[in-house]
Amino acid sequence: MKNKSEHPIITVVGCGMMGSAITWPAAYNGCKIRFVGSPLDGEIIAHARATGEHLTLKRPIPAGTEYYTVDQLEEALEGADLSICGVSSFGLDWYLDYVIPRLPDGVPVLSISKGMIHLGEGKMISYPEKMEEVAAACGKKNIDFCAVGGPCTSYELADLDPSCVTFCGRKIELLREIRDLFEAPYYHVSLSTDVRGVECAVALKNAYALGVSLAIGMSYKREGREFEHYNSQAALFGQAVREMRILLNLCGGHPDNIELGAGDLYVTVFGGRTRKIGTLLGTGMSFKDAMEALKGVTLESIAIAGRTVEAAKSLESLGVIKADDLPLLYHIGRLLDNETGIDVPWKKFEKEIY
């Protein structure tokens, strides 16, 4: 990273909630921020220009931030020291096809997008790995793709709540330079060169947060009002962590990354959008009806859960795992297939360890 100016320039492509919120600590450190709206961010850019406030975060954007529409992408990237990929999983294909060919060679990317891609036969790779492949195919071999993982919600980051995350990438020295741009009294950054391990851990939490949130909906149904039972949530949380460890190992990630997955799982169950879909499914609502009720809400968990179930079934067909190794994941898969009236497979969570 060149990072030679007194006020490094950071260009964010895709200014949704987290893509935007991560710039708060960078602005605190004196960085110059540029927002580029994706094709779906027109209202966010227009609202920010008119009011200085983020439309969906509903918080003031740091002073001095500049705003660009998607047709101004190359202008916004000119002179940048770092680019942030701020799109959700649903915007990944657009980012790969439209943005990567236009990225300046030599300017690193920090991605906040969380997810894994199933290549078939149970093989999963991280988004940064896929970005590297696309960049190489475009003749851009001098772009380093890094990513952010760990428990952090956008609105609490914007409120300066103390948060601990991990930046991952292939080059530790580059990660240290990027950390210097973001680390703040309320934003604490660990570093890892285990890209797939970090990304796998934090992606899986989206799928399993849906599973843990089933207990919330089950409590509402049982009590006839908003009342939560925590034994069932804790049981599903523990089973989720157990299955995440299995999948993390199958992806080739270091086992210590389970700390990131568990932490991210916790914050998503209590403060994420995935809680909403899991709660509705837990009340007995069909997946189709739950998605209709949440129309307009971005739910990355659905895409990630579907891919993970698909990968698990591929591994099962190859004899690598058994369905009973991942009973909660398979239960989630049945719910996504619109099955109703099925019970959580509690009995399959029991283990004998000796």
What does the pLDDT read at residue 141?
Answer: 86
Give dist(CA 33, CA 149) in Å, integer: 21
pLDDT of amino acid 58: 96
Angle at 90 between CA 50 and CA 163, to 5 degrees: 70
If we measure between CA atoms, which residue out of 178, 185, 184, 188 comes closest to residue 145? 178
Rounded to whole angstroms, the Cα distance separating 210 from 204 reads 10
Q: Is the dihedral of CA 119, 305, 336, 272 positive or negative?
A: negative
Report residue 309 CA to chain centroid gap: 17
- End-to-end, the C-alpha distance of the chain in Å comes to 51
Give the span between the Cα atoms of 163 and 185, in whole angstroms.
9
The structure's pTM equals: 0.92
Q: Rounded to an integer, what distance in angstroms lies between the CA atom of residue 55 and that of residue 57? A: 6
What's the pLDDT score for residue 1? Answer: 66
User: How many whole angstroms from its chain centre is CA 112?
Assistant: 6
pLDDT at res. 303: 86
- What pLDDT is stored for residue 118 in this prediction? 87
Total Cβ atoms within 10 A of residue 153: 20
Q: Determine the pLDDT at residue 319.
A: 96
Write phi, then psi, for 118 (nearest 5 degrees): -90, 120
Q: Are 212 and 265 in contact (CB under 8 A)?
A: yes
- pLDDT for the residue 207: 87
Q: Which of 207, 236, 215, 237 is nearest to 306 (CA)?
A: 207
CA 341, 283, 16 angle in degrees (round to 5)?
120
Can you tell me the distance from the alpha carbon of 147 to that of 258, in angstroms, rounded to the nearest whole number?
17
| Domains of the chain (ranges, CATH numbers) | 9-193 (3.40.50.720), 203-349 (1.10.1040.10)
pLDDT in tens, the chain (354 residues): 655 567 999 999 999 999 999 999 999 999 999 999 999 999 999 999 999 999 999 999 999 999 999 999 999 999 999 999 999 888 999 999 999 999 999 999 999 998 888 888 888 899 999 999 999 999 998 999 999 998 999 999 999 999 999 999 999 999 999 999 999 999 999 999 999 999 999 999 888 999 999 999 999 999 998 889 999 999 999 999 999 999 999 999 999 999 999 999 999 898 767 899 999 999 999 999 999 998 877 787 888 899 999 999 999 999 999 999 999 999 999 999 999 989 999 999 999 999
* Structural element, H or E, at residue 164: strand 163-168
Q: Contact 193/172 with Cβ under 8 angstroms?
A: yes
pLDDT at position 57: 95
Buried b or exposed e, range 25-40, using 16+ CB within 10 angstroms: bbbbeebbbbbbbbeb
Question: How far is residue 230 from each of residues 61, 197, 237, measured CA to CA in Å?
Answer: 37, 29, 10
Task: Provide the pLDDT for residue 12.
Answer: 98
